[in-house]
Structure 1
Amino acid sequence: MDGQLIAFTGIAAGLVAMPGADFAVVVRNALVSRRAGVVCGLGIAGGLLVHTTLAVAGVAAVLVAVPTLFRALQLLGGAYVLHLGVRALRALRRPAAAPEETAAGTAHPLRQGFVTNVLNPKASLTFLSLLPQFVPAGSPALPRTLLLALIVCTLALVWFQLVALLVERLGRWLRRPRAARGLQAGTGAALTALGAALLLEPLLA
């Protein structure tokens, strides 16, 4: 592996592992079962595949050229993340809920992971600006950018499976009523705050 690929892998790993809506939604699903967390992670990897494909194709540049489209996608993404957070917090009001019910909102973990990630237009712009920096001068751009996109998706698959596994290993403790409700409140509040921020940013711009 050449030096540029090593550097890109490190940067991409940091971007994938950065705490945010993707991480929070995987934790919430993994509280129900490892399978739900892994499936949610697959959805996120699918969303990243869309973003990297757009970057490779150069289509993501349209988001810069058409500010209205960019803002619309931001609002949709923010609204969806906010919806997940509010639903998680509302689930806390149910008395004597089972841990699986309190983790809540995991009927479609693949869809949750995919939609949470794919409705973030900043991801496309990030990869659009990042990928060309790691294409050596004079080498074919398409094979290289496809390789970089594959690295990103592979990192997401590995990382979110590890997150799901960790939650499962801590499952006995995390599924205690007090711990489960505390984690549910934390992830719900994080998703709500992230969703609100995503909604406010285009409105205040």
Structure 2
Amino acid sequence: MDGQLLAFTTVAAGMVAMPGADFTVVVRNALVSRRAGVACALGVAGGLLVHTALAVAGVAAVLAAVPALLRALQLLGGAYVLHLGLRTLWGLRRQRTEAPPAEAPSLAGPLRQGFVTNALNPKAPITFLSLLPQFVPAGTSVLPRTLLLALIVVVLALVWFPAVALLVDRLGRWLRRPKTARVVAAVTGGALTVLGAVLLLEPVWAA
């Protein structure tokens, strides 16, 4: 592995592991079950694949050049993350009066949540657009190199987010105690609500 590729892998690993909406939504689903957490993690990786593909195709450059499109994406992403946060907090009230479901929930929901949360992240395409070109050496064929860099990011996500889900599930006996589960749900729901609100308000602050 050449020096630039190693440096990119280190930077990309830090980006992927940085706590945010993706991390929070994976934890939220992993508290439901291991399968739900892993499904959500795979959804996040799928959303990341969309961003890297768009960056390779140059679509991210269009978003950077047309602020209105970026703001629209930001509003959509913020609204979705805010929705997940509020739904989590609302679920705390329902847990007090409703028994837990007897059947395991469908994995389509967690998979969709992970994918949409990442795919509607407005900062991801700009980050990739600014990051990937820095690690393409002069004289190197751009497309194959960029595809390799994009593949590294997706592989890192496929390792990190399922690992988070499995760790949360491993701690599940403690985390799923009624009192602890309510605290964790309140924290994750609050975090998602704040993140969604920030995404919604950033275009207003920037105006």
CA distance in 2, matches of 1:120, 1:145: 21
User: Quick check: 2:54–2:125 contact (8 Å CA) kept in 1?
Assistant: yes
CA distance in 1, matches of 2:83, 2:171: 27
Secondary structure at 1:120 match in 2? coil
CA distance in 2, matches of 1:13, 1:61: 23
CA distance in 2, matches of 1:31, 1:38: 11
Q: Aligned pair 1:65/2:62, yes or no?
A: no
2:115 corresponds to: 114
CA distance in 2, matches of 1:46, 1:27: 17
- Provide structure 1 residue ranges, at least 5 long, that are not aligned to the other structure: none
User: Quick check: 2:39–2:107 contact (8 Å CA) kept in 1?
Assistant: no
Q: Aligned pair 1:170/2:171, yes or no?
A: yes
* Structure 1 moving runs of 4+ over 2 Å: 96-101, 104-107
Within 5 Å, give how 1:26-105 maps onto structure 2: 26-94=26-94, 95-97=96-98
Identity of aligned residues (%): 77
1:199 corresponds to: 200
User: Quick check: 1:75–1:199 contact (8 Å CA) kept in 2?
Assistant: yes
Aligned length: 203
**Amino acid of the residue matched to residue 110 of structure 1?**
L
CA distance in 2, matches of 1:106, 1:154: 21
Output the aligned Cα RMSD: 1.7
Q: TM-score, normalised by structure 2?
A: 0.94
Per the TM alignment, residue 105 of structure 1 is displaced from its structure 2 partner at its CA by 11
**Amino acid of the residue matched to residue 67 of structure 1?**
P
Secondary structure at 1:54 match in 2? helix
Give CA-to-partner distance per residue, 1:79-120, whole Å, 9 cap, x none: 00000000000111121555779xx99760110001000001
Q: TM-score, normalised by structure 1?
A: 0.95
- Provide structure 2 residue ranges, at least 5 long, that are not aligned to the other structure: none
